[in-house]
């Protein structure tokens, strides 16, 4: 087996996972790190090992390609670098595995697709559940029609994040960078993005595709001193008339979820349902005829996406999450931002501050979102005093964010 050469772009933060995986299992999969790209490599936990192996580190991807080449570029950089770095890698002959989300805007993803097709190379996006055996088994059953027509899919994720999370970089919680490039970093476009994408991807007509959203209504809020939102309640209507509901926040005190309920005509799929102990960290389908099917436990920390991309480059597998699949998530996020262009601030009197670094959490928010999840409504629809409705945004023919400047 010919060995594949890999350049790692951004080796701190999440990029540490890829560095560790290749250092430990590179020989097993016949891959080698031939270079790393990071203007601040000191944030890499494995920097000394990279130096020990004499792996060169470059300040930019362009600098790497001046003297080197690679079969695969693994990109873990901030959202607003994804488009440019993916295109740079493709134009220099590298296939790409880019972390989620694919990019900030729909037009950037279209540009990435265009360059990918011109270069005849592969681009995978790192929404990891799309590569997970348990999730794939569920999707195969959905595609076969065993669960019937999809009706409503809903997910709830309450993940507290303190100010250290927002101060870890100069782009966290930002809408744009200092040059005006869109970032759109948010709870729904970063930490919990997987769980929104899962619902879109599950309803795709092929194993590597997602359903396309046709309308989005979103309520976006913030408790933290950031530009964008830390709390979201989003309703998505899909092209097959299914409804998707997504509730996620960082502005709570207690960790809860993810939990989800996917309702089909013939079965209901649950994960971490407090009322169904058997679903703890397991995907379970409960059929209307009384039968139960267990799909297993998705591995949140898996880098299976890396090895699946390697297999695909070698011609042995498909790209489970190509740009087209990731595009449905970005389209949803773009529509959500247009639905609530001015982020609604929670009233100061219900924002509580706790700990050091400070956690800003909203009194009653946990209970409100759990209620909305249970009753399948948005906060404004049940008369919560801080809630403000978003406008319905049609995504039919939507090709550019924003559709008008805001």
- The pLDDT tens digits for 130-145 are 999 999 999 999 999 9
**Going by C-beta distance under 8 Å and a sequence separation of 6 or more, which residues neighbour residue 83?**
103, 104, 108, 109, 111, 112
Confidence (pTM) = 0.97
Distance CA 59, CA 37 (A): 6
Residue 406 has pLDDT above 60, yes or no: no
- Give buried/exposed letters for 364-401 (b at 16+ CB in 10 A, else e): ebbebbbebbeeeebbbbeebebbeebeebebeebeeb
Query: How much is the pLDDT for 405?
Result: 62
Phi/psi for 286 (5° steps) reads -110, 110
Q: What is the per-residue pLDDT across 302-357, written as a single tens digit (0 to 9) for each?
A: 899 999 999 999 999 899 999 999 999 999 999 999 999 999 999 999 999 999 99
Residues 157-173: pLDDT tens digits?
999 999 999 999 999 99
Report, as an integer, the average pLDDT of 185-200.
98
Task: Calculate what percentage of the chain has a pLDDT beyond 70.
Answer: 99
Q: pLDDT, tens digit, for every residue of 50-87? A: 999 999 999 999 999 999 999 999 999 999 999 999 99
Taking 80 as the threshold, does the pLDDT of residue 1 lie above it?
no
Please check the confidence at residue 385 and state whether its pLDDT lies above 70.
yes
For residue 386, pLDDT over 70 is answered with yes
What domains, with CATH codes, occur in the chain? 4-128 (3.40.50.720), 129-299+323-394 (3.30.360.10)
Identify the pLDDT of residue 399: 95
* 354: CB partners within 8 A, 6+ apart: 253, 361
Rounded CA Rg of the chain = 21
Average pLDDT value over all residues in the chain: 97
């Amino acid at each position: 087996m010919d060995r594949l050469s890999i350049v790692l772009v951004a080796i701190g933060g999440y990029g540490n996972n890829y560095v560790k995986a290749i250092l430990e299992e590179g020989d097993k999969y016949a891959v080698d790190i031939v270079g790393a790209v990071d203007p601040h490599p000191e944030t890499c936990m494995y920097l000394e090992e990279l130096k020990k192996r004499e792996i060169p580190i470059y300040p930019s991807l362009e600098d790497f390609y001046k003297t080197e080449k690679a079969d695969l570029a693994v990109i873990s950089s901030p959202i607003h670098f994804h488009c440019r770095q993916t295109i740079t890698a493709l134009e220099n002959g590298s296939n790409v595995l880019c972390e989620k989300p694919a990019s900030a805007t729909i037009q950037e993803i279209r540009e990435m697709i265009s360059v990918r097709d011109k270069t005849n190379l592969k681009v995978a996006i790192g929404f990891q559940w799309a590569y997970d055996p348990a999730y794939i088994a569920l999707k195969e059953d959905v595609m076969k029609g065993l669960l019937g027509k999809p009706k409503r899919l809903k997910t709830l994720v309450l993940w507290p994040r303190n100010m250290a999370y927002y101060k870890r970089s100069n782009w966290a919680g930002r809408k744009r960078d200092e040059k005006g490039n869109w970032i759109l970093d948010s709870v729904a476009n970063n930490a919990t993005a997987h769980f929104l994408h899962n619902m879109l991807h599950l309803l795709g007509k092929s194993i590597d595709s997602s359903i396309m959203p046709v309308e989005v209504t979103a309520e976006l809020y913030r408790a933290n001193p950031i530009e964008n939102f830390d709390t979201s309640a989003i309703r998505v209507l899909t092209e097959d008339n299914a409804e998707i509901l997504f509730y996620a926040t960082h502005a709570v005190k207690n960790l809860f979820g993810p939990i989800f309920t996917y309702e089909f005509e013939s079965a209901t799929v649950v994960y971490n349902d407090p009322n169904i102990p058997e679903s703890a960290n397991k995907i379970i389908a409960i059929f209307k005829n009384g039968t139960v099917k267990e799909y297993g436990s998705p591995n949140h920390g898996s880098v299976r996406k890396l090895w699946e991309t390697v297999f695909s480059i070698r011609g042995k597998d498909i790209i489970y999450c190509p740009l087209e699949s990731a595009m449905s998530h970005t389209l949803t996020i773009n529509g959500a931002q247009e639905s609530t262009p001015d982020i609604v601030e929670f009233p100061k009197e219900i924002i509580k501050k706790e700990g050091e670094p400070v956690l800003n959490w909203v009194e009653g928010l946990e209970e409100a979102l759990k209620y909305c999840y249970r009753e399948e409504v948005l906060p404004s629809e049940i008369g919560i005093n801080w809630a403000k409705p978003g406008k319905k945004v049609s995504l039919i023919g939507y090709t550019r964010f924003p559709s008008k400047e805001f």
